[in-house]
Chain A
Amino acid sequence: MDWGSILNNTLAGFLTPTTIAFALAALGLAMHFGFAGLLNFGIAGFMAIGGYGYAISVLTFGLPWWAGMLVGVLGSVVFALILGIPTLRLRGDYLAIATIAAAEIARLLFLTTAFTDVTGSADGLFGFNSRPDGSGFQNSNPIPQGTYGFGPFTYNEQTLWVLIFGLIVLTVAVWFLWALMRSPWGRVIKGIREDEEAVRSLGKNVFAYKLQALVIGGVFGALGGIIYTAAQNISPGVYVTSLTFFIWTSLLLGGAATIFGPVIGAVIFWVIQAFLSNVLPELATSGILPVSTTQASTLRFVLVGIGLMLLVIYRPQGIFGDKRELTFVK
C-alpha cells in the first residue's frame, strides 16, 4: 500500500480543472434548487451546451477562444429560455422529469452521427484549445513553459493557465451569486421557493423571477462545462445523467442553500473521489479487498450512491446549510 502516492493524488484532487468545473456547476444548481426551489435534473445538459458551444465555435466557425466561450454561455441562455418558458409552471417532480429529458435530448443530439461533421459524434472533438492560427485558449497562455508548484500541487503551464482562469471565473460567479441573494431580488427568490402564491399576491411576476434564476444557474453550469473542456477535449459520454447526479451530491454535501457550500461540496467530493480511486485499487491488488482492480474502481461510485442516500436522509442541509431554511425537507 503506497500511502505516499495515495496521499499525494488525494491532495491533488483539491485543485484540478474538474474540481473547478464541478464547483461552478454546483453553484448553478444552488441558484436553481437551493435558492429558487427549481428541481433541475438536467444540469449536465447546460454543461454540455457550454462545452460544445465553445468547441464547435472554435473548430467549425474559427472563432477565437473567448468568443467561443461566449457562444457557449449564450447557448445555455437560449437553452434555459427554451426549457424554462414552457416548463417552469410544472410542479416539482414533473419539472425534474422534464429537465432530465431535455438534457438527454441535448446529449443525444451531440452523440448522433447525423451531425458528426460538427460535433464529432461519439468521438467528440479535439484540438480546439491550441490552434495553429494562435486563436486558441492555450495560445493566449501568458505563463512560460515549465512546471510549477510543489508536492501534489504540481502543474505544467497549460494546466496552471486553466486553473487560474477557472478560479477567476469561479470567484466572479461566487460574488455574483452572493450579491444577488443578499439583494431584494434574492428576497423575492427565497419567497418564491417557499410559496409562489404568496409572492404573487404581493404583485411580483413570479414566472419572470424563476426564469431569471434558471438562466443564471444555467450560465454557471455552462461555465463549468467550458472550464472542463478548456482543460482537455470534449466527448458526449461525459454529459450523462450520472454527471448531474454527482453535481447534486456535491451541492447537497456542501449545503444547497448556501454560497460556499456548493464550492466546498465540490472540492470535498473530488478529494474523496481521488482518495477512493487511489485507495480502492490498491486495496484490491494487495489482496485486502477480495475484488479485482476494475471492480475496485466501480466500488467508488457505489459509495457515492450510498453517500447520497445517507446525506439526503440524515443531513439534507449538508455541511453548511441551515435546516430551518430548507423547503424540501419536512
Chain B
Amino acid sequence: MSSNEKPQKTTGLHIGDAVPGCKKKDPMLVIDHVKKTFGGLTAVDVEHLEIPSGVITALIGPNGAGKTTLFNLLTGFDTPDTGTWSFMGTSLSGVPSFKVAQLGQVRTFQLTKALSLLTVIENMKLGAKGQSGESIFRALFPGFWKKQDEDIEVKAMELLKRFKLDTKKGDFAASLSGGQRKLLEMARALMTDPTLVMLDEPMAGVNPALTQSLLDHVISLKGEGMTVLFVEHDMHMVRHIADWVVVMAEGKVVAEGPPESVMKEQAVIDAYLGAHQETDLGEVTGRINIIKGEDK
C-alpha cells in the first residue's frame, strides 16, 4: 500500500439519518445510557451509540470531551455508573478487562506499554492466546508447550517482518525507539487474533516519519476483516482513513457520520472552534502534515 493512494472508504453503514445514536446495519459495539461521573463532573453521558463492524471508526472530540473515559469503559478498564454495553451481542457489564480481551477485543495505550524488560520476541509471544504453557502445571514440563511455542514464534516472526521489527527480535524492548515500540505494541495486539482493535491515540508522540507506516498498518487491519476503533485528535488523519466518525463534546455524542459530512456539521464546528468558524478543522487539530492538498 503506497502512501499516496487514497484508502477505499466504506459507505452505507447507517440506518436512517446520520445522527448521534443512529443504528448501524452491522453493529459490533452497542452502548446504552452509559454515564460516568468523577466527583461532581460528568465525564461521559451517552444515550445510545453503535460502532459498525468491519470498518475503521474514529472517536474524536476536543480535550475533555470524554473520549478516553468512554474508551476505557468500552474496553473494561473502567466501570460506568450506569448503563449497558455489549460487544458482538455479549453484554460486557461487570466483565473484567482481561475477559473482554479474551472475547476478541484488544486495545493499545496512549502511553505505549511495550514491556521493556522483555525482549521483542517475548513481547510478541505474550500476546498469543490459549497457550497451554501458561497454565502452571503444564508449564513445568516443556513437552506440553514446546510445539505450540514454536508455532507461536513462527506467527510472531511473520508479524514482526510485516512491521519491520524482525531484526530486533532478541533485543530488549527498552532498546527500541518510541515509534518502534508503538509498532511492537500494535504487532503484539495482533497476536491475539482480535475481532475489534481499539487504538488509544495511536499517533501520539510518534515522529512524522513513522506515521505513514502506522496509518498503513491500521488500514491493512480493515483489509483483514478486523474492526478498528481509534481515538484521535488529528483531523487530517481521521479524514484520511476513517469510514465513520463519532464526535464527542462534554461527555455527549454530538455528531456521527462519514468524515466529510461530519466535519461540516455546525455542532462539530462549534465544539472545536468556537469563534474561529472559518478555519478548517484539519488545520486546527492537525499534528501531522502528511496529506498535502488532497482534502482541500
Contacts and interface: CB of A to CB of B under 8 A. Distances in A.
B133 A202 contact: no
A203 B117 contact: no
Interface residues of B, number: 40
Nearest to B135: A185
Contacts of A294: none
B101 interface: yes
Contact of A190 (B99, B107, B118): B118
A203 B108 CA distance: 12
A287 B102 CA distance: 71
A47 to B, nearest CB: 23
A56 B124 CA distance: 49
B101 A185 contact: no
Contacts of A203: 98-99, 101-102, 106, 129, 192
B118 A191 contact: yes
Nearest to A324: B172
Contacts of A206: 98
B79 interface: no
Interface stretch (A76-84, A136-144, A176-184): A176-184
Interface stretch (B48-56, B136-144, B211-219, B270-278): B136-144
A42 interface: no
Interface string B65-93: 00000000001010000000000000000
Contact of A201 (B113, B139, B149): B113
B125 interface: yes
Contacts of A201: 75, 77, 97-98, 101, 106-109, 113, 189
Interface residues of A, number: 29
Given A194-B115, A206-B98, A187 B188 contact: no
A324 B131 CA distance: 27
21 contacts: A180-B140, A183-B139, A184-B133, A184-B134, A185-B135, A187-B134, A190-B117, A190-B118, A191-B118, A194-B118, A198-B109, A200-B96, A200-B97, A201-B77, A201-B97, A201-B101, A201-B107, A202-B188, A203-B101, A216-B136, A324-B117
Interface of B: 75, 77, 96-99, 101-102, 106-109, 113-118, 122, 125-127, 129, 131, 133-136, 139-142, 145, 149, 172, 174, 188-189, 191-192
